[in-house]
Amino acid sequence: MSLRIHRLVRTLAAVAFAGVALPALAQTEIQWWHSMTGALNDRVNEFAKGFNESQKEFKVVPVFKGQYPESMAAAIAAFRAGNAPHILQVFEVGTATMMSAKGAIVPVQKVMTDAGEKFDQKAYIPSVAGYYTTSKGQMLSFPFNSSTPVFYYNKDMFEKAGVDPNRAPATWPEVMAAAAKIKTSGTSQCAYTSGWPSWVHVENFSAWHNVPIATRENGMAGLDTVFQINTPLHVRHWSNLKEWADKGYFTYGGRTNQAEAKFYSGECAMLTSSSAAQANINRNAKFKYGVAFMPYYADVAGAPQNSIIGGASLWAMAGKPKNDYKGVAKFFTYLSDPARVAEWHQKTGYLPITPAAYEMTKSSGFYEKNPGTDVSVRQMLNKPPTANSKGLRFGSFVQIRTAFEEEFENMLAGKQDAKKALDNAVERGNDMLRKFEKTVKE
Amino acid sequence: MEKRVVFRSWWLPYLLVAPQLAVTIIFFFLPAGQAIWTSLLSQDPFGINVEFVGLDNFAALFHDEHYLASFKVTAVFSVLVAGLGLSISLVLAVFADRAMFGAGFYKTLLIWPYAVAHAVAAVLWLFLFNPTLGVVAHWIKGFGIAWDPLLRDNDAMILVVVAAVWNQISYNFLFFLAGLQSIPKSLIEAAAIDGAGPARRFATIVFPLLSPTTFFLLVVNVVYAFFQTFAIIDAATSGGPGNATEILVYKVYKDGFKALDLGSSAAQSVILMLIVIALTVIQFRYVERKVQY
């Protein structure tokens, strides 16, 4: 009796084991957690499918894990529980958090070298690669979807208001002159709006005017960085925005990308927001529109410099079997193919993160057929990046950015002037930087 | 008469309560204990550098003016949500109870909003109150009143309160209606014969007899306003403009899951837990005395 049960158990175990073990023997699964929705999600699945069909050894499984902060929180929780994904897509404000998580991540360069895959970080646009590279020159994550803010304007409205639709306003005073005409001519109630207030009006504003956001090369040279965004130039820009808001030239559009809908629905005539908004604008706008460089103040020496990126990169998480990283490396190589980078750029509006992909897109005549799609990359390459414009790296930046946005809203609501708002932003930001410094330092 | 049931075997009662105890321990005591422990630590998001800091996280919170402001916001928000939610649904229940024709139709309509998920309700109201697209915003502006929940604190507060109350009315309504229907008609008729008008009958008979229901709903609504309105805040305002609608539970989420500051977030949830325990104790100790079962 007991012998029979014993045999039965053994048989069952063997069957179960075979059922589990066989596919694992054939293929190693590579988990890829990401935050791409809609058409972008389809592209991600295509990448995985293409890779899986190109070889037999590994199978990349893309999993949508919610918005950027959600997928990051989920991956961190999974890491603490000992089952992190192999690849995690992290947005640019989470970069410093990931970088200081030694032991939780494997630098992309190490992944590639260990697996014997070719990897040249010089193949990337410097201001993209720089964002994810340590001060010692080691590239930590794999650039994937990078965007930068650009200026959009409604050509039909410009024409109606008597502003030259073939010449985009280049400076902030020109933007406001156009806004005044649009408003007074009764063309539209909303002249100018903007997405991502901190990203556009603090971070990129500083880089574009070649002034620092913070000491220590915007935090890239060390954790002991201090914010410097309450300079007269920053105060001037924020008080201008407040004044324009009071005059009705500037309509506040919220903290994320809600302003984009205000533009493509034909409500607002001008917009500053991500270059990745172009796909949506293209699909929805029932008017002619132009894309141009971000406005600047002409009297600031060195402006315009170059803009900095947003978007996300792919991180290899630590603690997986050695062989798995071979698959991760192979997949990164697959994604690096210039034709794929170029296609991703053309279909999504994200930047062509390698000059090769840019040249390929250029020579294919894509930019002539789709005017405005090259503005973002030209803006990134406008000048060789300086210490002020190669990027930024701040711990707890998600929280800090929210603090900046809260101070911005409190200014627009009339609770404080621009100087006070920016002073508060600096103070609150520095507090959080110090706290972060304390948690990551041994 | 002795009501107590006596079990023959000593282990049976333990066995019978075991499932419930297990659920409480696994889903309440363990996480709560973990939260208390985390609140005493300072750590990076990945848990690589963990340091015991005692009550530092709590001390930092009480020096943070934004945290203190969040108390005020929470107080205003919960008083409005519980107060409006209870009074509006009581009025609706009284009228629905009296309706002669189509009572079933009204009741169905009034119960409907409960089927709408909180986040969906928030988006719905957000859309209606959207300064450029929303119908309600259009009416408000028609009266010459400025309206912009993206920038004006009070407008944002009104928006989240309306969404939260609307979502909760059905639940309150159901309980009030059931409470009203269980009041013996003979009492009300007797009072009417004695010459008491509808208002007096409500004040001296109906309302006191409803007090167990009202008390129960008060506890439930306060807990609702403190915790379950999270989805509404997140979808409608994300705590903005500034920090104008950042209630305590939203701040726990924001600091913990967006900012990944686990120590502070855990400390906040511990404080929140203490507040709700205190409020419930107060309600049972003092308010319940006025309840007539």
Query: For chain A, how long is the longest CA-to-CA vector?
Result: 96
Among B44, B238, B254, the residue with its CB nearest the CB of A440 is B44
Q: What is the pLDDT of residue A35?
A: 92
Min distance B26 CA to chain A CA atoms (Å): 17
DSSP B136: H
Average pLDDT over residues B68-96: 94
Q: Give the model's confidence band at B114: pLDDT under 50 very low, under 70 low, under 90 confident, else very high.
A: confident
Which of the two residues, A19 and A375, has the higher pLDDT score?
A: A375
Residue to mutate among B66, B258, B265, with most A CBs inside 10 A, is B258
Q: Is residue B174 very low, low, confident or very high in pLDDT (cuts 50, 70, 90)?
A: very high
Cα distances (angstroms) measured from residue B290 to each of B83, B94, B208: 18, 22, 9
* The token pair that represents A84 in the structure block: 């992190």
> What's this model's pTM, rounded to 2 decimal places?
0.85
- Give the model confidence (pLDDT) of A91-119 as tens digits: 988 998 899 888 899 999 999 999 999 99
B258:A399 CB<8 A: yes
Residue A193: pLDDT above 90? yes
CB pairs under 8 A between A and B: 80
Instruction: Give the mutation candidate from A79, A409, A412, A416 for the B interface (greatest B CB count, under 10 A).
Output: A409
B240 and A409 within 8 Å at the Cβ level: the answer is yes
Mind giving me the DSSP string for B122-142? HHHHHHHT-TTT-HHHHHHHH
Strands A190-194 and A268-274: parallel
Q: In the prediction, which pLDDT does B2 show?
A: 56
Identity of the residue in B44, B153, B258 whose CB atom sits nearest the CB atom of A69: B258
Give the pair of three-digit tokens for residue A105: 């991540």
Say yes or no: A67 contacts chain B, CB-CB below 8 A: no
- What's the rounded Cα separation, in Å, for the pair A424 and A429? 8
Residue numbers in A near B65 (CB within 8 A): none
Distance from CA of A300 to the nearest CA of B (A): 31
pLDDT for residue B68 is more than 60: yes
Contact list in A for residue B240 (CB cut-off 8 A) is 255, 405-406, 409
- Residue A102: what pLDDT? 84
pLDDT in tens, B10-43: 888 899 999 999 999 999 999 999 999 999 998 8
Q: pLDDT band for position A287 (50/70/90)?
A: very high
pLDDT at A4: 52
What is the DSSP secondary structure assignment for residue A145, as one 8-state letter?
E
State the pLDDT at residue B37.
Answer: 95
> pLDDT of A323-369, one tens digit each?
999 999 999 999 999 999 999 999 888 999 998 999 999 999 999 99
Identify the pLDDT of residue A10: 55
Which residue in the set B43, B241, B255 is minimally distant from A409, CB to CB? B241
Query: Chain B partners of A104 at a C-beta cutoff of 8 Å?
Result: 46, 48
Taking the CA atoms of residue A359, residue A360, residue A363 and residue A365 in that order, the dihedral angle to the nearest 10 degrees is -120
Summarize the confidence of residues A214-221 as an average pLDDT: 93
Q: Which residue from B46, B49, B259 is facing A396, i.e. has the nearest CB?
A: B259
In this complex, is the C-beta atom of A257 within 8 Å of any C-beta atom belonging to chain B?
Answer: no
Please state the rounded mean pLDDT for residues B229-248.
91
CA distance B110 to chain A (A): 33
**Average pLDDT over every residue of B207-230:** 90
pLDDT for res A9 = 52
Is residue A339 a contact partner of residue A50, using CB atoms and an 8 Å limit? no
- Rounded to a whole number of angstroms, the distance from the CA of A58 to the nearest CA of chain B is 28
Measured between alpha carbons, how far is B67 from B64 in angstroms, rounded to an integer?
5
At residue B54, the 3 state secondary structure works out as: coil
SS3 content of chain B, % helix, strand, coil (to 5): 75, 0, 25
Give the number of other CB atoms < 10 A from CB of residue B92.
19
Mean per-residue pLDDT, A27-36: 93
Average pLDDT for chain A = 90
The pLDDT, as a whole number, for residue A21 is: 45
Q: Do B45 and A101 touch (CB under 8 A)?
A: yes
Q: Which candidate from A69, A252, A413 shows the least CB-CB separation from B153? A: A413
Q: Give the CA distances from residue B133 to residues A163, A246, A256, B125, B141, in Å, rounded to whole numbers and listed in that order.
A: 27, 21, 18, 12, 12
A405 in contact with B at a CB cutoff of 8 Å?
yes
Q: Specify the higher pLDDT residue, B96 or A181.
A: A181
Judging contacts by C-beta atoms under 8 Å, the chain B residues touching residue A402 are 254, 258-259
Q: Is A214:A228 a contact under the CB 8 Å cutoff?
A: yes
Q: Which residues of A touch B258 (CB under 8 A)?
A: 69, 73, 398-399, 402
B242–A410 C-beta distance less than 8 A: yes
Q: Do B151 and A97 touch (CB under 8 A)?
A: no
Distance from CA of A212 to the nearest CA of B (A): 24
CB-nearest to B257 from A69, A440, A441 is A69
Given a cut of 50, whether residue B185 has pLDDT beyond it is yes
Per-residue confidence (pLDDT) for residue A25, from 0 to 100: 53
Question: Is residue A176 very low, low, confident or very high in pLDDT (cuts 50, 70, 90)?
Answer: very high
pLDDT at B25: 95
With CB atoms and an 8 Å threshold, state whether A255 touches B240.
yes
Q: Are strands A268-274 and A149-154 parallel, antiparallel or unpaired?
A: antiparallel
Using CA atoms, how far residue A230 sits from A202, A389, A420, A427, B169, in Å, is 10, 17, 9, 10, 47
Q: Which of A190, A199, A200, A206 is nearest to A252 (CA)?
A: A190
Which residues of chain A are within 8 Å of residue B241 when distances are taken between CB atoms? Answer: 406, 409-410, 413
Q: Cβ–Cβ of A104/B48 closer than 8 Å?
A: yes
Look at residue A24 in the predicted model and tell me its pLDDT.
47
Tokens standing for A338? 């210039």
Confidence check on the interface: ipTM exceeds 0.95, yes or no:
no
Work out the pLDDT band at A190, boundaries 50, 70, 90. Answer: very high
Per-residue pLDDT at A121: 87
Of A430, A225, A396, the residue nearest B261 (C-alpha): A396
Lowest mean pLDDT of A51-65, A421-435, B142-156, name the range: B142-156
Alpha carbon distance A316, A89 (integer Å): 9
- Chain B residues with CB under 8 Å of A246 CB are none
What is the tens place of the pLDDT at every residue in A257-285? 889 989 999 999 999 999 988 878 888 89
- pLDDT of A165 over the 90 cut: yes
Check if the beta carbon of residue B151 is closer than 8 Å to that of residue B241.
Answer: yes
Q: Note whether A439 contacts B150, CB cutoff 8 Å.
A: no
Cα(B208)–Cα(B225) distance, rounded to whole angstroms?
Answer: 25
Residues of chain B whose C-beta is under 8 A from some C-beta in A? 42-49, 132, 148, 150-153, 238, 240-243, 254-255, 257-261
